[in-house]
Amino acid sequence: MAQDEQGSDRGAALAAFFVLFNEIGILAQLSAAMFEARMPPGHLTSQFALLNHLIRVRDGRTPLELARAFQVPKTTMTHTIALLEKRGHIAVRPNPEDGRSKQVWLTDAGRAFREQALAAMAPDIMELAAAFPPEKAAALLPGLTELRKLLDERRDG
Amino acid sequence: MAQDEQGSDRGAALAAFFVLFNEIGILAQLSAAMFEARMPPGHLTSQFALLNHLIRVRDGRTPLELARAFQVPKTTMTHTIALLEKRGHIAVRPNPEDGRSKQVWLTDAGRAFREQALAAMAPDIMELAAAFPPEKAAALLPGLTELRKLLDERRDG
DNA sequence: ACTATTTAGTGCGATATCGGATTATATGCA
DNA sequence: TGCATATAATCCGATATCGCACTAAATAGT
């Protein structure tokens, strides 16, 4: 019966993570839909997230660094970068320190667009914040970040 | 300066949700990749999640109910259902209560596949559980669920 | 210096996802 | 009953995402 309990614990652990990941998947879906509803047609969350990253972390990153940051395949990042470059929101230049590589820089237009998109979304977020205090959102973050880092490590190791 | 403080709070609230949604997006990405790495080629997370739902919630649901449950467009669900049906993991039958509608039922093969997939993933999950206690995962759930429900409501209203 | 291996980015083909229009059935209302 | 509207599912076209193979440049080992 120690075995049974162990088996039961196992099942419970599995179930807990499945439910959690399922909820996370749906939330990703919903939040992306909310953002895209406020952006001009053709502007996707993946692109907006990239602009945000270049501001928050700093621009000049290489495509590979960006792919790793978002945990998407290199080819996907190549595609996203090409779209944003065509749109004039970023500039891609050779990496002076590595001939194989490139660097991604924000343009003024990119910064402006990001500001504008941010402003367009603010009302929705504030409405959400009225029902779900930002402190509560912040409280969720450490656990999620820890989980993300564990998954990150597992992927490489 | 009350204005400044207000503006600052606004910014902080915005930032909190952006960071949270960003983390959620990456986690969705990573967990999907982890699952798919353990599934036969061509079997995607969206399909596996559907099988799980039909077990956890109960089968006999209509395509539209399923689309709403996962917050994906109807057309996406049509596609996913068609794949699983072709594979023999689900059976789609007319809805006796509504001539426009259908019902989705699990087949024995579908149940068997799901069991098998679950078992294949268990080691990964248990490894994760060793570093991140399931209770901690469970503790994250209420907040995320509340947030998800708020986004759900916002979408319709 | 030279070759083998690793690494950064891209081209290409397959397909999952999605929005818009269409069809069939159900519901509401006169 | 008959007609207008709403709803369930699908069809179609566009495209974001992804895996695989390839090229070019850097690094390691001799």
Indicate if A77 and A90 belong to the same structural domain.
yes
Do residues A81 and A113 share a domain?
Answer: yes
Q: What is the rounded CA–CA span in Å between residue A139 and residue B6?
A: 21
Number of domains in chain B: 2
On whether both B105 and B71 belong to a single domain, the answer is: yes
What are the residue ranges of helices labelled H in chain B?
Answer: 2-37, 45-56, 63-70, 74-87, 108-131, 134-156
To which H or E segment does residue A36 belong? helix A2-37
Average pLDDT estimate for B21-25:
94
Distance (Å, rounded) from C-alpha B155 to C-alpha B157?
6
Q: Which residue has the higher pLDDT, B153 or B4?
A: B153
CATH number of the domain at B68, please: 1.10.10.10
CA angle A17, A19, A20 (to 5 degrees): 60
Per-residue pLDDT of A4-30, as tens digits, reads 555 667 788 888 999 999 999 999 999
Q: Which amino acid is at B90?
A: I
| A49 and A31 fall within a common domain | no
The CA R_g of chain B, rounded to the nearest whole Å, is: 19
Q: How buried is residue B94: exposed, middle or buried, by Cβ count under 10 Å (0-12/13-18/19+)?
A: exposed
Measured between CA atoms, how close is B88 to chain A, in angstroms? 23
Residues A125 and A73 in one domain: yes
Distance from residue B79's CA to nucleotide D25's C1', rounded to whole Å: 43
- Residue A19 token pair: 């439910």
Give the pLDDT mean for B109-130.
94
Task: Round the CA-based radius of gyration of chain A to a whole number and report it.
Answer: 19
What does the pLDDT look like over A89-147, one tens digit per residue? 999 999 999 999 999 999 999 999 999 999 999 999 999 999 999 999 999 999 999 99
**B17 or A3, which is more confident:** B17
Comparing CB atoms, the residue among B21, B30, B124 nearest residue A148 is: B30
- In DSSP terms, A103 is beta-bridged to A93
Distance of CA B100 to the CA centre of its chain: 26
Cβ-defined contact of A151 to B19 (cutoff 8 Å)? no
Q: Tell the burial category of A90 from Cβ atoms under 10 Å away from its Cβ (0-12, 13-18, 19+).
A: buried
Whether the per-residue pLDDT at B12 is higher than 60: the answer is yes
Inter-chain Cβ pairs, chain A and chain B, closer than 8 A: 179
Q: Please report which confidence band the pLDDT of residue A157 belongs to, taking 50, 70 and 90 as the band edges.
A: very low
Boundaries of domain holding A70: 41-156
pLDDT in tens, B47-82: 999 999 999 999 999 999 999 999 999 999 999 999
Q: Examine the domain organization and report whether A144 and A89 are in the same domain.
A: yes
Residue A41 beta carbon within 7 A of nucleic strand D: no
Q: Which of A24, A29, A35 sits opposite B144 (nearest CB)?
A: A24
- Same structural domain for residues A64 and A12? no
Minimum-distance CB partner of A13 among B13, B20, B126 = B126
Q: Does at least one atom of strand D sit less than 7 Å from the CB of A29?
A: no
Nearest CA in chain A to B125: A14
Residues A2 and A64 in one domain: no
Whether residues B84 and B53 share a domain: the answer is: yes
**Under 8 Å between Cβ of B81 and B63:** yes
**Would you give the DSSP letter of residue B61?**
B
Which helix (H) or strand (E) segment is B104 a member of?
strand B98-106
User: Across residues B108-125, what is the average pLDDT?
Assistant: 94
Q: What is the pLDDT of residue B5?
A: 52
Considering the domain architecture, whether residues A4 and A61 belong to the same structural domain is answered as no
Are B16 and A134 in contact, with CB atoms under 8 Å apart?
A: yes
CA A81 – CA A50 distance, rounded (Å):
9
Same domain, B28 and B57: no
CA B84 to chain centre: 16
Pick from B142, B70, B31, B11: nearest CA to A140: B142
Q: Amino acid identity, residue A107?
A: T
Give the minimum alpha-carbon distance from A98 to chain B in angstroms, rounded to a whole number.
Answer: 28
Strand pairing partners for A94? A102
Residue of higher predicted confidence among B89 and A42 = B89
Whether B52 and B77 share a structural domain: yes
